[in-house]
Amino acid sequence: MVACSLLSLQAACGGLSNRSSPFGGGRAEQAPHFKPGFNLFKPEQDIELGVQSAQKIAQQVPISRDEMTVNYVRQLGARLASKAPGHKFPYQFNVIATKDINAFALPGGFIFVNAGAIMAAGNEGELAGVIAHEIVHVALRHGTSQATKAYIAKAGLGILSTIAGGDNPESGQIINVIGGAGANALFLKFGRTAETQADLEGARIMAEAGYDPRDMAAFFKTLQERGGQRVPEFLSDHPDPGNRVAAINEVLPSLPMSKDPTHDSQEFEQVKARLLGSGGEMRQSAEPARLGSANPGGNKAGVRVEPPSQEFAGFQARDNSFAIQYPRNWDALTSDEVNMIFAPKGAYARTDQSVVVTHGIFIGAVEPEGKDLESATSAYIRKQVEGNPDFRVVRDPQEITFGGRRGYATVVAGPSTVTGVMEIDVIYTSVTSEGRLFYLITIAPEDEIQQYRSTFEAIIKSLQLAGAGE
């Protein structure tokens, strides 16, 4: 009897508007909008309870102090929260330094994202989907709505007549009846109706913030495909990923989709590379101290190489397979006839087996190991990672055009044994007119990547491949 009464309350006091069913047949005419369910708490009490719960959680988990990662998540969260419906809660975003793939929301706007969720996301859009989902739990007040139902179930339906008479219980009284500290469990685990609402309203938030809602669905699908022996906690109480992909696709026509939605960003790549390189354990400062010299050839520890010149010089490969322009204060080092290194003084050195480079580019052509550009690129990337076991692919090959030809760009990152900081390598691949695999690799430490970005872009823009466009 109690369960039926509570279900009636939910239907009467909250739920989906402008849409008959989360997975109903037929195309929605308007973007999905949900209303908060029946709630004995005031929004101000949501904040009060959220503060108390957040303080307890902060004592139990390792909160990240890494400024770069935390600031990035907060900026992304603020962008999404600006599109949240309902009460204007003071949204706060924090990162938990653990590999577990999870994120959760507390009443009043307190949202926590595990480093593991950032590491598992394929791009910024997928991470935005995770955060938008959690924002909806706050905006629709799922935590305190759930606490309300638990209170009525324990206090009895008679409490409703008291409430109707204007005598609302205080938040502390409700929490005590529920079971004190046990209320936190109500704030962290939601039923499938709430999860579906968070998906569809989150999809609308993503679209309005300039993201593609399909990235949210892709994140959950990726986690399901990873499977393994342990299902990520973030999936354990959620609807089947196949159903939620279908549901999001169904509402897409009703959403204010951008013609050019954001899928990825350099900032996301840097943060993800940072986390992957640290094994999921956050660094303690935004500007990591260098452990060694920036110059393999002998600069003093901590000395950085000269910034790239704004003036460029031209270079033509001996076999005329490519031509580029590069900063005048960089040296051109010949590996062989068509494999070159361009790097500033102090950023390279020869060892017994190879040349070590901390800033600059590798460029050249090799015999392909594959029947087409895609497979040859995959084989080349795999070989690079196998030769540098601490490095990881942080963005899979994406099809692009450069040098007038079809190509791929892949982001690889890992800790440099020379500088002691994360190194970001972007590997560009294409095919020469003779059928060889052409590559261009940009190299820079993570904490200097912004300084080198425009230089790398200028180099790539200047690239000319023989026979391109013919």
The pLDDT of residue 154 is: 60
The tokens of 244 are what? 């939620």
The pLDDT of residue 430 is: 94
The pLDDT of residue 261 is: 93
The tokens of 275 are what? 């986390």
Give the three-class secondary structure for 358.
coil
| Residue ranges of the chain that CATH labels 3.40.1000.10 | 291-465
**Which residues, including other chains, have CB under 8 Å from residue 220's CB and lie 6 or more apart?**
234, 235, 238, 241, 244, 245
Query: Roughly how many angstroms between the first and final C-alpha of the chain, as a whole number?
Result: 77
d(CA 139, CA 134): 9
DSSP assignment, residue 85?
-
**Which residues, including other chains, have CB under 8 Å from residue 70's CB and lie 6 or more apart?**
64, 93, 94, 95
Asked if 144 and 46 touch (Cβ cutoff 8 Å), the reply is yes
| Regions of the chain where pLDDT drops below 70 | 1-32, 150-189, 223-242, 278-304, 335-338, 350-354, 389, 417-421, 468-470
The pLDDT of residue 34 is: 82
The tokens of 381 are what? 């990337």
The pLDDT of residue 175 is: 55
**Topology, domain 291-465:** Protein Transport Mog1p; Chain A (3.40.1000)
Cβ-based neighbour number of residue 260 at 10 Å: 8
d(CA 6, CA 161): 14
The pLDDT of residue 189 is: 65
pTM of the model: 0.54
